[in-house]
């Protein structure tokens, strides 16, 4: 959407056809898809897609990931947690209470980035910032940091999370610190001025 003349174009499809699935923006900019099924049957657990998939905006490809242990269809949720895992839960409750297709359980999905070595440590950071301000972050891992972003935690309902946002931020690396540039304003935070 930052192009002078943005337009829609076709990219490769997911490996599994899905309805009632949930998309979750991950901190690395990729997108996780969980749940759903191959028909519009809201509780059709036999047609449920158990494997998760990840969309890479860099390569414009989908990768099939580990399978969930339970089908997640209508009324299911996937939510990015503060520890960077994704909580996937629920499903069912379409026609009544205590249906055999209800999924009264949850599970955590741990994305691949959690297995790439030790996570960076933040020793101090401000609790707030201002538009256009500089955020000084103290970290002994500054030289290993490849990206910094704001990510808004979601609020999912009925397989849609209209509150997700990932805003990449410009930053410079110092000795044991990062100097991060906050967005200039609220209207177009992805554009750096």
Domain of residue 164, CATH code: 2.60.40.10
Structure tokens at 73: 């269809």
User: Would residue 74 show up in a list of annotated catalytic residues for this protein?
Assistant: yes
| Residue 192, pLDDT score | 43
Cα Rg of the chain (Å, integer)? 19
pLDDT score for 155: 85
Place of tokens 């337009």: 7
Residue 23 to residues 36, 53, 157, 167: CA-CA distances in angstroms? Answer: 10, 10, 11, 17
- Write down the pLDDT at residue 188: 59
Cα–Cα distance, 109 to 30 (Å, whole number): 14
CA distance linking residue 26 with residue 9, whole number of Å: 23
Kindly state whether residues 5 and 62 are assigned to the same domain. Answer: yes
Q: How many domains does the chain have?
A: 2
**What per-residue confidence (pLDDT) applies to 189?**
53
For β-strands 61-67 and 134-138, DSSP reports them as: unpaired
Hey, how many other C-beta atoms are within 10 angstroms of the C-beta on 183? 21
What range defines the domain where residue 176 resides? 118-188
Residue 115 to residue 120: CA distance in whole angstroms: 13
Q: Is residue 166 part of a domain?
A: yes
Residue 154: the pLDDT is 83
| Residues of the chain below pLDDT 70 | 1, 188-193
Task: Report the distance separating Cα 72 and Cα 93, nearest Å.
Answer: 12
Task: Quote the DSSP letter at residue 96.
Answer: S
Per-residue pLDDT, 193: 39
Let me know if residue 193 belongs to a domain: no
Q: Do 18 and 83 share a structural domain?
A: yes
| Same domain, yes or no: 97 and 10 | yes
Residues 130 and 164 in one domain: yes
Confirm whether 160 is domain-assigned. yes
What is the model's pLDDT at position 163?
A: 81
Which of 74, 109, 113, 131 is flagged as catalytic? Answer: 74
Residue 154 and residue 63 in one domain:
no
| Residues 112 and 123 placed together within one structural domain of the fold | no
């Amino acid at each position: 959407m930052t192009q002078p003349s943005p337009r829609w174009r076709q990219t490769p499809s997911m490996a599994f056809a899905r309805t009632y699935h949930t998309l979750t923006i991950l901190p690395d900019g990729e997108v996780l898809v969980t749940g759903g099924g191959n028909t519009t049957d809201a509780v059709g657990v036999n047609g449920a897609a158990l494997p998760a998939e990840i969309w890479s905006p860099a390569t414009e490809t989908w990768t099939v990931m580990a399978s969930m242990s339970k089908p997640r269809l209508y009324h299911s949720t996937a939510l990015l947690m503060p520890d960077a895992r994704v909580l996937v839960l629920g499903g069912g409750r379409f026609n009544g209470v205590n249906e055999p297709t209800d999924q009264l359980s949850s599970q955590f999905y741990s994305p691949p980035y959690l297995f790439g070595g030790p996570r960076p440590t933040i020793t101090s950071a401000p609790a707030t910032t201002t538009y256009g301000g500089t955020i000084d972050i103290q970290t002994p891992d500054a030289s290993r940091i490849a990206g910094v972003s704001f990510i808004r935690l979601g609020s999912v309902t009925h397989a849609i999370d209209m509150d997700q946002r990932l805003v990449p931020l410009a930053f410079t690396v110092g000795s044991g610190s990062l100097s991060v540039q906050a967005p200039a304003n609220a209207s177009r935070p992805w554009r750096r001025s």
